[in-house]
Structure 1
Amino acid sequence: MLRHEGNAIVRERKGPTELPNEDRKKIYKNEDTRTDAKTITFVFLSLLLDLFAFTMILPLLPSLMDYYSREENQENSLYSTLLQAVRSFQKLTGAPDRFVSVLFGGALGSMYSFLQFLTSPIVGSLSDAYGRKPMLLICLTGIAASHALWSLAETFLIFVVARFIGGLSKANVSLCMAIVTDASTEKTRARGMALVGLAFSVAFIVGPLCGAWFAKTSDITNGPWGERPALYALFLSIANIALVAFCLPETLAKEKRAPVSFTLYKTVDFVSPWHLLNFTAVENLSHYQKKVLSKLGLIYFLYLFVYSGLEFTITFLTHHNFKYTAMQQGKMFLVIGLIMAVLQGGAARRLGTKSAEVAARVSVALTPFAFLCIALAALSNPPFLAPLIWLWTGLVLYALSTAFAVSCMTSIGANRAPGAARGAVLGTLRSLGALARAAGPLLTSSVYWYSGAAITYAIGSLILIIPTVMLFRLKT
Structure 2
Amino acid sequence: MSDANKASKDVALSSSRVIFVVFVLLLLDLLGFTLILPLLPSILDHYAHTGDGAYQSLQSAVDIFREALGIPMEKKYNSVLFGGLIGSLFSLLQFLSSPITGALSDRYGRRPLLLLTTMGIMSGYVVWALSRSFAMFLLFRVIAGVCKGNVSLCTAIVADLADPKARNRGMAMIGVAFSVGFTAGPLMGAYLAVTAKTAGHVFFQTPALLALAFSVADLVFIWLMLPETLSAHAKGSHSGFGDFRDLLSPGALFNFSAVTRTKDPPTEQKMQRLKALGRVYFCYLFLFSGLEFTLSFLTHQRFHFTSMEQGKMFFFIGIVMASIQGGYARRIKPGHHVRAVRMAIAALIPAFILIGLSWNVTMLYVGLALYSFAAAVVVPCLSTLVSEHGTASQKGTVMGILRSLGALARALGPIVSSSVYWLAGAQICFLVTSASFVVPLILLTGA
Shorter-chain TM-score tier: over 0.9
Q: CA deviation at 1:198?
A: 0.2
Q: CA deviation at 1:261?
A: 3.3
Note if 1:460 corresponds to 2:433: yes
Q: CA deviation at 1:367?
A: 1.4
Q: CA deviation at 1:273?
A: 1.1
2:18 to 39, 49, 56: 39
2:327 to 346, 353, 357: 346
| 1:249-299 Cα shifts (integer Å, max 9, x gaps) | 000111012435346xx2221111111110001132221221111111111
Q: CA deviation at 1:216?
A: 1.7
3-state SS of 1:233 partner: helix
* More off after superposition, 56-65 vs 348-357: 348-357
Q: Which residue of 2 is the match for residue 160 of structure 1?
A: 138
The separation in 2 between residues aligned to 1:64 and 1:47, in whole angstroms, is 26
3-state SS of 1:281 partner: helix
Q: Which residue of 1 is the match for residue 244 of structure 2?
A: 267
Q: CA deviation at 1:49?
A: 0.2
Percent identity of equivalent pairs = 43
Q: CA deviation at 1:221?
A: 11
Q: Which residue of 2 is the match for residue 102 of structure 1?
A: 80
Q: Which residue of 1 is the match for residue 254 of structure 2?
A: 277
| 1:195-240 Cα shifts (integer Å, max 9, x gaps) | 0000000111110110110222232996654221111110110100
Partner AA of 2:395 in structure 1: R
TM-score with structure 1 setting the length:
0.90
Q: Is the 8 A contact 2:103 2:241 kept in 1?
A: no
Q: Which residue of 1 is the match for residue 282 of structure 2?
A: 301
1:88 to 50, 64, 73: 64
The separation in 1 between residues aligned to 2:95 and 2:200, in whole angstroms, is 36
Q: Is the 8 A contact 1:67 1:221 kept in 2?
A: no
* More off after superposition, 162-171 vs 252-261: 252-261
Partner AA of 1:332 in structure 2: M
Partner AA of 2:60 in structure 1: Q
Structure 1 residues 162-311: aligned runs within 5 Å: 162-219=140-197, 224-257=202-235, 258-262=237-241, 266-282=243-259, 283=262, 284-311=265-292
Q: CA deviation at 1:361?
A: 1.5
Q: Which residue of 1 is the match for residue 350 of structure 2?
A: 369
Q: Which residue of 2 is the match for residue 421 of structure 1?
A: 394
Partner AA of 1:144 in structure 2: M
Partner AA of 1:106 in structure 2: G
Q: CA deviation at 1:389?
A: 3.2
3-state SS of 1:251 partner: coil
The separation in 2 between residues aligned to 1:225 and 1:333, in whole angstroms, is 22
Note if 1:358 corresponds to 2:360: no
The separation in 1 between residues aligned to 2:298 and 2:241, in whole angstroms, is 46
3-state SS of 2:191 partner: helix
Q: CA deviation at 1:93?
A: 1.8
The separation in 2 between residues aligned to 1:27 and 1:91, in whole angstroms, is 68
3-state SS of 1:404 partner: helix
The separation in 2 between residues aligned to 1:119 and 1:36, in whole angstroms, is 28
3-state SS of 1:419 partner: coil
Q: Is the 8 A contact 1:154 1:224 kept in 2?
A: no
Note if 1:443 corresponds to 2:424: no
Note if 1:404 corresponds to 2:377: yes
3-state SS of 2:258 partner: coil
The separation in 2 between residues aligned to 1:27 and 1:185, in whole angstroms, is 15
Q: CA deviation at 1:104?
A: 0.9
* More off after superposition, 88-97 vs 60-69: 88-97
Q: Which residue of 2 is the match for residue 315 of structure 1?
A: 296
Query: Are residues 63 and 287 of structure 1, via their aligned partners in 2, closer, same or farther at CA, if it must alter by over 3 Å?
Result: same
1:431 to 400, 404, 412: 404
Moved over 6 A (4+): none
Q: CA deviation at 1:52?
A: 0.3
Q: CA deviation at 1:470?
A: 2.0
Q: Is the 8 A contact 1:372 1:461 kept in 2?
A: yes
Number of residues of Structure 1 aligned to a counterpart in Structure 2: 440
Q: CA deviation at 1:306?
A: 1.0
TM-score with structure 2 setting the length:
0.95
Q: CA deviation at 1:184?
A: 4.7
The separation in 2 between residues aligned to 1:159 and 1:124, in whole angstroms, is 27
Query: Which one has the largest radius of gyration?
Result: 1
Q: Is the 8 A contact 1:53 1:236 kept in 2?
A: yes
Query: Are residues 220 and 115 of structure 1, via their aligned partners in 2, closer, same or farther at CA, if it must alter by over 3 Å?
Result: farther
3-state SS of 1:41 partner: helix
3-state SS of 1:95 partner: coil
The separation in 1 between residues aligned to 2:315 and 2:411, in whole angstroms, is 24
The separation in 2 between residues aligned to 1:314 and 1:403, in whole angstroms, is 17
Q: Which residue of 1 is the match for residue 102 of structure 2?
A: 124
